[in-house]
Amino acid sequence: MFATGVENSSPTVAGGRRVDEMEKCGHYKHWKSDLALVRQLGVRFLRYGPPLYKSWLGPQRYDWEFADRAFGELRLQDIVPIVDLCHFGVPDWIGNFQNPDFPQLFAGYARAFGERFPWVQLYTPVNEMYITALFSAQYGWWNEQLTTDHGFVIALKNVVKANVLAMQELLRLRPDAIFIQSESSEYFHAENPAAIGPAELMNSKRFLSLDLNYARRVDSEMYEYLMDNGMTREEYHFFMASSLKHHCIMGSDYYVTNEHRVAADGSTRAAGEVFGYSVITRQYHQRYRLPVMHTETNLAEGPDRAAAVNWLWKEWANVLRLRNDGVPVLGFTWYSLTDQVDWDTALREDNGNVNALGLFDLDRRVRAVGTAYAQLIDDWREVLPTQSVCLQVPVVLPSQHEEGKMMPARYAPRSSRHATAAPHNAE
């Protein structure tokens, strides 16, 4: 599954200012031509979702005007969306991720979306659950802007519960729904022996969102951490009893900022690429034993236009290394379709800085990495499925969906063969 995405982050930051990346990147103006660019590259899978704060107006109150147009075009173009329902922010009427009512309310929104668009099969209900909680409630950057362990645990349990309940609702509507948990893959390196303890703690915390989501029992130190900071035994038992792992693909995001150096006092700074995607993703795969999709990566183009192209090659080499070592990697994503704005300050400052991270610039001109990605897809599209003919993700293309009668894409004619993915051996 070769994919890209349209950035739909919408957190609030200092002063209550809403950051809408779709607005900043011009997608509301260029949405139709943007979707045409996806097909132009030969991409058939798109991480995409309507802006939550605009489409969810209140309990059982929705505005689907933009979603109807955009998803109608996706279906017309036969592009398979991987739907982000919540990407770093919630509507003002919810407040923030400390709201204990958010999970149940969000499940209702997910169900309403699924009823509106029954042909959609692939979902990321809540994007990057760990980062959502970390940036909102421990770093103090977004939404509730808290800087405490208690705030982090409350946000984390609410975000993961919202994800689990949304999956349950969507499966009631569509039993063949597949969930791709796009989650940041992190690693913390100790700078010296005194930093080993803090680094080990952080390396345990990085797994918490997926441990809870996949009903994997945490270790004793993390259990005490959760209990000491706002989670109850009953809430923990809810997660352990709610395993939907067999409907999931583990999405892993990797950027040059995902590895960290830890000092003795617990402070961190960027480490750059030390282990790289294949080593860190193997750690996550060994923990959860799920098929993997590389769901986000990018790098700024740079003055010579070569940096992003080289990063694409390096990430793809890491994907192939994992596959050759027996890890079932099902897909790859360059994120995002177009350049982004103000991600150099994690959206906290409204500087209007264009970050040259996209396959296309904001004038919708293809970047060198866009050309390279199209070539990579053309080179590898027909080779990869032949490596495991009998194990494929049962994706139903939008054009093949009929209510009550859905034909998996693996039975499609050769002209649609590239819509399938292999191998798939989820537990």
Give which of 80, 1, 81, 2 is closest to 422, Cα–Cα.
1
Classify residue 184 by its DSSP letter: E
Q: For residue 413, what are its two tokens?
A: 């004619």
- The whole-number pLDDT of residue 400 equals 87
**Mean pLDDT, the chain cut into blocks of 10 residues (427 residues total):** 96 97 98 97 96 97 98 97 98 98 98 98 98 98 98 98 98 97 97 97 98 97 98 98 95 97 96 98 97 97 93 97 94 97 97 97 98 96 66 81 57 35 36
The domain limits of the chain are 2-391
Alpha-carbon distances of 339 from 118, 177, 279, rounded to whole Å: 31, 30, 28
Domain 2-391 is in which class? Answer: alpha beta
- The whole-number pLDDT of residue 381 equals 86
88 and 132 Cβ atoms separated by less than 8 Å: yes
User: Using one digit for the tens of pLDDT, what is the confidence trace for 38-77?
Assistant: 999 999 999 999 999 999 999 999 999 999 999 999 999 9
Alpha helices for 232-306 (secondary structure H): 233-240, 277-288
- The whole-number pLDDT of residue 418 equals 37
Amino acid identity for residue 303 in this structure: P
Average pLDDT across the chain, whole number: 93
